[in-house]
Amino acid sequence: MPKTLEHPPTAIDVDHQEAEAKQALVDSLLKDRQIIMASNRGPVSFTQHADGRFTARQGSGGLVTAVSAVLQGHQATWIAAAMTDGDRERARQAEDAGETLITPDETESRFKLRFVVPTQEAYHDYYNVISNPLLWFLQHYLWDTPRSPDITHETWAAWREGYVPVNQMFADEIIIACEQFDREPVIMLQDYQLYLAGGMIRERRPNAIIQHFIHIPWPDPDYWRLLPKEMRTAICEGLLGCDIVGFQIPDHARSFMYTCEAYVPDCSIDYANKCVQWRGRTIQVRHYPISIDAEAVRRTAYSQEARAYERYLPTHWNEFTILRVDRAEPSKNIIRGFHAFDRFLEAHPEFQNRVNFIAVTQPSRMDVAEYRDYLDDTSATVGRINAKYANVETGWQPVQVIMGESYPRVLAAMKWYDVLLVNSIIDGMNLVAKEGALINERSGVIVLSEGAGAAMQLGNEALMVSPADVEGTAEAIYQALTMPIRERQRRARRLRHSVERDDVSIWFRDQLADIAEDAADHIGQAEPTGTQVA
Ligand code: GDG
């Protein structure tokens, strides 16, 4: 006899049943199927030492942090571009030895790595001309449009000799990797460097299962018009080669559908069911807010290495501490954050000498002039504010910059803030806000940009600011520093619970569950594999 419920199902029962159903879908999808992950930056980068030995170091950045965490539990092949001399040399040796896959670390990692090795010129064009200054800038609304960008013959050359061929190299490597498996693997492409790869794989492997997740915002079609028609259409069509295109939040998913409607002539959009019909196929357009691996973040935050940093970091703290943690990246709005701090000190001089603003900054994309200039401008702003307020008697300097790359140090610093400032102009998600919410020990307040994807989840408990609003951001800093402790505690508790509940495993599970469900017909047709067309 079926068991009768003693009470009607609660929201928790329903959540639990839904989670079990999704997990069952994922388990059946991956029972005898592998994952092929592809991203520009790999999970590790290699350094070769004088004795010829290689050491591997985990890469930084939001994508690698999140994807490495979810892949630990799976057998997967990760395809990435060789970015350093060490990577290139390691890839060359692997090829000479007939080693098809590199194991980054024999003991811990279950994924294997394959490098794509473009020439340095092609890589430069793909990464330093198209991906970062063009696509990243476009997708974060970073242009000063009366002056930039200029799309010139040089941009076109970089597109044709860099972006297109490097995407083709990724597609080729992925196809080779697919051929090793009996069942069609799940291909998961990551981000804006690989927009053309999905379409290129589809051409040669019509039954491939392809999902593409875009970590960064997707602007309105009007802004995409700044890219020549051939480029923007190629980007949309490349993505429409996939089965599912995923974004961080619904707004970005919707903008993508509008952009397809505007620039892909033969497609039709079903906004209600969130899909695009194109050339006889249906492409799902979804959103999956990315998060952090709460357990792993805590492990690192309380590791010996992090604790070692905790011994010297307190020299930076003051009675009140404001923290920001970012790559030296224009979209993170670092300079405007300092302007807001300057306004705050001006408007509330009683805080002078008692508050420190610590910026943990990681130099990024230094081969791109805009990034070098931005870092220079950041340093100049810090110098100006310190010169304006420094107290020669007490030795107080209001702004301190900790430069370099160390994930344990970042997490160690996050334990201590009273205010975490995340004022990005626009941000796909922003993992720093979630890490801070999880591990801060002082019931610190998060001042969060309305433009960060994280606002969707954390917006109720953070103090929200409009990214260009210097005055409003200064005021939010003041409000945070003067907030009664009970309110700080209440907000901090809710933020922490929210991040604990929706961690990165859900981001990953939901994508795979959708692949299992929405691509079910298509997976049925895909067995057995190897139906090559060209
Ligand atoms: C992109 C999107 C989206 C590690 N070492 C250092 C360092 N880290 C870690 C941080 C954080 C991550 O890097 C940075 O992630 P964010 O999400 O804040 O930013 P992006 O790198 O721009 O990531 C973003 C993300 O992809 C995932 O989808 O959330 O919107 O732009 O985990 O702890 N950070 C710093 N120094 C280090 O040495 N500053």
What CATH code is carried by the domain that includes residue 368? 3.40.50.2000
Give the pLDDT confidence score for residue 2 in this predicted structure. Answer: 44
Give the pLDDT confidence score for residue 384 in this predicted structure. Answer: 97
Q: Is the CB of 62 under 6 A from ligand 1?
A: yes
Q: What are phi and psi of 81, to 5 degrees?
A: -80, 140
Give the pLDDT confidence score for residue 139 in this predicted structure. Answer: 98
The model's pTM is: 0.93
Q: Is the CB of 427 under 6 A from ligand 1?
A: yes
pLDDT-based confidence at residue 109 (cuts at 50, 70, 90): low
pLDDT-based confidence at residue 530 (cuts at 50, 70, 90): very low
pLDDT at 526 over 60: no
Give the pLDDT confidence score for residue 23 in this predicted structure. Answer: 87
Distance between CA atoms of 295 and 292, rounded to whole angstroms? 9
User: Count of domains in the chain?
Assistant: 2
Same domain? For 381 and 470 the reply is yes
308-317, 368-377, 480-489, 493-502: least confidently modelled range: 308-317
Same domain? For 478 and 514 the reply is no
* Residue 8 covered by a domain: no
Q: Which H or E run includes 521? A: helix 520-525
- Closest atom of ligand 1 to CA, residue 453: 30
pLDDT-based confidence at residue 46 (cuts at 50, 70, 90): confident
Give the pLDDT confidence score for residue 470 in this predicted structure. Answer: 98
Give the pLDDT confidence score for residue 5 in this predicted structure. Answer: 52
Cα(465) to ligand 1 centroid in Å equals 20
Percent of the chain with pLDDT over 90: 73
- The tens digit of pLDDT for each residue in 177-198 reads 999 998 999 999 999 999 999 9
Cα(60) to ligand 1 centroid in Å equals 7
pLDDT-based confidence at residue 200 (cuts at 50, 70, 90): very high
Q: Are strands 281-287 and 275-278 parallel, antiparallel or unpaired?
A: antiparallel
**289: how many CB neighbours lie within 10 A of its CB?**
20
Residue 20 burial (10 A CB sphere; 0-12, 13-18, 19+): exposed
Q: Is the CB of 139 under 6 A from ligand 1?
A: no
Give the pLDDT confidence score for residue 71 in this predicted structure. Answer: 76
Q: Is the CB of 39 under 6 A from ligand 1?
A: no
pLDDT at 299 over 90: yes
Cα(64) to ligand 1 centroid in Å equals 9
Q: Is the CB of 410 under 6 A from ligand 1?
A: yes
Higher pLDDT among residues 216 and 100, named by residue: 216
Tell me the residue range of the domain where 445 lies.
294-502
Distance between CA atoms of 125 and 132, rounded to whole angstroms? 10
Same domain? For 306 and 265 the reply is no
Cα(432) to ligand 1 centroid in Å equals 6
pLDDT at 72 over 90: no
Distance between CA atoms of 200 and 238, rounded to whole angstroms? 7
Ligand 1: residue whose CA is nearest its atom 25: 62
Distance between CA atoms of 366 and 368, rounded to whole angstroms? 5
pLDDT at 226 over 50: yes
Residue-averaged pLDDT of the chain? 91
Higher pLDDT among residues 71 and 83, named by residue: 83
Give the pLDDT confidence score for residue 56 in this predicted structure. Answer: 84
User: By three-state DSSP, how is residue 195 classified?
Assistant: coil
* Residue 309 covered by a domain: yes
Q: Is the CB of 405 under 6 A from ligand 1?
A: yes
Over the Cα atoms of the chain, what is R_g?
Answer: 24
User: By three-state DSSP, how is residue 484 classified?
Assistant: coil
DSSP 289-301: -----HHHHHHHH
Amino acid identity for residue 472 in this structure: G
* Residue 491 covered by a domain: yes
Q: Is the CB of 360 under 6 A from ligand 1?
A: yes
The angle that helices 334-347 and 470-481 make with each other, rounded to 10 degrees, is 60
Same domain? For 104 and 181 the reply is yes
Distance between CA atoms of 432 and 38, rounded to whole angstroms? 23
**Residue for token pair 């063009």:** 134
Same domain? For 205 and 316 the reply is no
Distance between CA atoms of 417 and 321, rounded to whole angstroms? 5
Of the residues 432, 503, 506, 508, which should be mutated to test ligand 1's pocket, given the most ligand atoms within 8 Å of the CB?
432
Cα(17) to ligand 1 centroid in Å equals 33
Same domain? For 259 and 334 the reply is no
pLDDT at 375 over 60: yes
pLDDT-based confidence at residue 432 (cuts at 50, 70, 90): very high
**Positive/negative CA dihedral, 302, 307, 313, 318:** positive
* Residue 232 covered by a domain: yes
The token duo for 297 is 């973040």
pLDDT at 370 over 80: yes
Q: Which residues contact 447 (CB under 8 A, 6 or more apart)?
A: 419, 420, 421, 422, 423, 462, 463, 465, 473, 476, 477, 480
Q: Which residues pair with 112 in a beta bridge?
A: 77
pLDDT at 533 over 80: no
Give the pLDDT confidence score for residue 104 in this predicted structure. Answer: 65
pLDDT-based confidence at residue 95 (cuts at 50, 70, 90): confident
Give the pLDDT confidence score for residue 9 in this predicted structure. Answer: 65
**Residue for token pair 């705050």:** 344
Ligand 1: residue whose CA is nearest its atom 20: 62
The angle that helices 294-301 and 407-414 make with each other, rounded to 10 degrees, is 90
Write the CA distances from 52 to 42, 46, 396, integer angstroms. 21, 12, 47
Q: Is the CB of 406 under 6 A from ligand 1?
A: yes
The token duo for 144 is 């000063």
Q: Is the CB of 512 under 6 A from ligand 1?
A: no
Cα(59) to ligand 1 centroid in Å equals 11
* Residue 410 covered by a domain: yes
Q: Which residues pair with 403 in a beta bridge?
A: 361
- Closest atom of ligand 1 to CA, residue 360: 39
DSSP 30-88: HTT--EEEEESS-SEEEEE-TTS-EEEEE--SHHHHHHHHHHTTS-EEEEEE--SHHHH
Same domain? For 447 and 514 the reply is no
* Residue 532 covered by a domain: no
DSSP 404-443: S--HHHHHHHHTS-SEEEE--SSBS--HHHHHHHHH-SS-
Same domain? For 180 and 269 the reply is yes
* Residue 534 covered by a domain: no
- The tens digit of pLDDT for each residue in 304-355 reads 999 999 888 888 889 999 999 999 999 999 999 999 999 999 999 999 999 9
Residue 336 burial (10 A CB sphere; 0-12, 13-18, 19+): middle
Of the residues 65, 138, 303, which should be mutated to test ligand 1's pocket, given the most ligand atoms within 8 Å of the CB?
65
* Residue 5 covered by a domain: no
Distance between CA atoms of 322 and 337, rounded to whole angstroms? 11
- Closest atom of ligand 1 to CA, residue 217: 30
Give the pLDDT confidence score for residue 466 in this predicted structure. Answer: 98
pLDDT at 18 over 90: no
Higher pLDDT among residues 369 and 340, named by residue: 340
Q: Are strands 320-327 and 419-422 parallel, antiparallel or unpaired?
A: parallel
Distance between CA atoms of 407 and 65, rounded to whole angstroms? 10
79-93, 148-162, 231-245, 477-491: least confidently modelled range: 79-93
Same domain? For 416 and 518 the reply is no
49-53, 277-281, 421-425, 448-452: least confidently modelled range: 49-53
Give the pLDDT confidence score for residue 63 in this predicted structure. Answer: 74
Cα(294) to ligand 1 centroid in Å equals 15
Same domain? For 408 and 486 the reply is yes
Cα(430) to ligand 1 centroid in Å equals 7
Cα(407) to ligand 1 centroid in Å equals 10
Same domain? For 315 and 406 the reply is yes
pLDDT at 223 over 70: yes
Cα(401) to ligand 1 centroid in Å equals 17
Q: Is the CB of 432 under 6 A from ligand 1?
A: yes
Same domain? For 374 and 411 the reply is yes
Distance between CA atoms of 44 and 78, rounded to whole angstroms? 10
Q: Are strands 281-287 and 320-327 parallel, antiparallel or unpaired?
A: unpaired
Percent of the chain with pLDDT over 70: 92
The angle that helices 250-263 and 229-239 make with each other, rounded to 10 degrees, is 120
